[in-house]
């Protein structure tokens, strides 16, 4: 006699996906559904799990030490320079834009791809690029900018926020799409799946949040609430759940592609129970990812940790933050890897007396601060991908 598991698995061909199978199981084969209920099992417990193999092989480094790379840099002459930088130092990873800050995909996709219209020719041959990274064993991370997206609203204004009859934009002229809507989730997850199929070993989701200051306009703008419409929670908790639920959903959907999932998050969220406007809860997001990457650039803080001018004290700022984050992560049952974003740029916009020129000394100070608190992984941010020369990327620990 065929087992319940065997019968269920044999029937997968009838439906387009195991998710659809789960939805329709009780209608199609109620006896299987009843047996699963008796055994207190779900389809996920019994069905063979499909795992996609891109054919590429990357060893996870001893600890990820990476740099940010734009699509233009990855597809231009600067790519060779950045490969040489990694090859000649203790750096070992690249975070490469796949879906950028404007919602464009940084390489051309096949014409039959639903995302073909988003593809730009920044990275002329992404497969060749990954060939180089694989040969050099440079760990490739695909950066996907999620809810900040000025492209999708042009054709789907219903997926964005409207100010009257117009798409709402922030002070920098940027649009956001609506985190409450599952269609927006699927749109971004499907792009991430394309990157995983290409051979990226990790998907890093950025801008996993509502627009800054959203708490001041949440009742003024027009937007859908999706399945959160009937929730009795206040607007803050609805936003927190939408953001957290997206992360959990994305991780589940990407599991069969064998990639790690990381999320960029504002560093200050670790200092709060949750950031009320943008919907980021540090602990809840951390529970649903493999890696948490807090953006802790000294220039982006005000008077935190008793430091009045954080940009001038990178070691102290980063170490104080690391202490706080470590304490928060220890509260979790299965904490993710901590891999903060560090500053390798000069924040002259802070004005005279509030900033310093960042270079070897300042970058090493931040790395050392993390090491002194037991954090070995980090990423370096420079929007122009110009990284300080002669940096020791593995300064000796105390």
CA distance readout (Å), 314 to 354, 358, 369, 378: 12, 10, 8, 15
The CATH code that applies to domain 61-381 is: 3.20.20.80
89-99 per-position pLDDT tens digit? 999 999 999 99
- Confidence band, pLDDT 50/70/90 cuts, at residue 358: very high
CA separation for the pair 15, 311 (Å, rounded): 56
Prediction pTM value: 0.88
pLDDT in tens, 49-59: 667 888 899 99
How many angstroms separate the first and last alpha carbons of the chain?
Answer: 64
**Is 19 a residue whose pLDDT tops 90?**
no
Which of the four pLDDT bands, split at 50, 70 and 90, describes residue 357?
very high
pLDDT in tens, 245-278: 999 999 999 999 999 999 999 999 999 988 889 9
Average pLDDT, stretch 353-358? Answer: 97
Instruction: Indicate the average pLDDT of the chain.
Output: 90
Tokens 């509502």, residue? 210
Other C-beta atoms closer than 10 Å to the C-beta of 63 total 16
Strand partners, 167: 162
Domain ranges of the chain: 1-49, 61-381
Read off the pLDDT of residues 294-321 as tens digits, 9 standing for 90 and up.
Answer: 999 999 999 899 999 999 999 999 999 9
Over residues 173-197, the mean pLDDT reads: 97
For residues 378 and 110, what is the distance between their CA atoms, to the nearest angstrom?
34
Angstrom distance (rounded) from CA 87 to CA 292: 26
For 209-254, write each residue's pLDDT tens digit: 999 999 999 999 999 999 999 999 999 999 999 999 999 999 999 9
CA 232 to chain centre: 29
pLDDT in the model for residue 12: 43
Residue range 24-32: average pLDDT? 61
């Amino acid at each position: 006699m065929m087992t319940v598991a065997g019968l269920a698995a044999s029937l997968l061909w009838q439906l387009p996906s195991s998710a659809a199978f789960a939805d329709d199981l009780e209608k199609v084969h109620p006896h299987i559904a009843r047996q699963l209920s008796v055994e207190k099992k779900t389809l996920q417990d019994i069905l063979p799990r499909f795992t996609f193999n891109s054919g590429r092989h990357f060893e996870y480094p001893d600890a990820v030490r990476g740099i940010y790379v734009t699509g233009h840099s990855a597809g231009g002459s600067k790519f060779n320079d950045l490969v040489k930088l990694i090859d000649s130092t203790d750096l070992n990873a690249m975070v490469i834009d796949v879906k950028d800050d404007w919602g464009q995909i940084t390489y051309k996709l096949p014409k039959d791809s639903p995302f073909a219209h988003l593809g730009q020719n920044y990275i002329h041959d992404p497969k060749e690029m990954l060939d180089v990274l694989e040969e050099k064993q440079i760990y490739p991370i695909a950066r996907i900018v999620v809810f900040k997206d000025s492209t999708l609203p042009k054709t789907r204004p219903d997926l964005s926020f409207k100010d009257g009859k117009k798409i709402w934009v922030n002070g920098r002229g940027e649009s956001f799409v609506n985190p409450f809507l599952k269609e927006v989730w699927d749109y971004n997850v499907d792009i991430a799946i394309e990157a995983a199929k290409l051979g990226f070993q990790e998907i890093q989701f950025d801008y996993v949040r509502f627009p800054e200051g959203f708490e001041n306009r949440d009742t003024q703008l027009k937007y859908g609430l999706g399945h959160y419409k009937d929730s009795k929670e206040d607007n803050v908790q609805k936003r927190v759940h939408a953001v957290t639920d997206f992360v959990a959903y994305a991780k589940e959907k990407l599991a069969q592609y064998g990639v790690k999932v990381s999320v960029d998050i504002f560093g200050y969220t670790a200092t709060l129970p949750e950031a009320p406007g943008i919907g980021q809860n540090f602990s809840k997001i951390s529970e649903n990812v493999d890696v948490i990457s807090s953006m802790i650039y000294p220039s982006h803080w005000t008077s935190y940790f008793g430091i009045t001018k954080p940009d001038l004290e990178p070691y102290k700022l980063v170490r104080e933050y690391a202490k706080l984050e470590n304490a928060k992560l220890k509260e979790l049952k299965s904490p993710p890897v901590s891999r903060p974003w560090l500053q390798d740029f000069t924040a002259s916009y802070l004005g005279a007396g509030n900033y310093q020129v960042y270079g070897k000394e300042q970058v090493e100070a931040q790395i050392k601060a993390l090491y002194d608190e037991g954090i070995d992984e980090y990423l370096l941010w420079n929007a122009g991908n110009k990284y300080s020369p002669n940096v020791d990327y593995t300064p000796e620990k105390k």
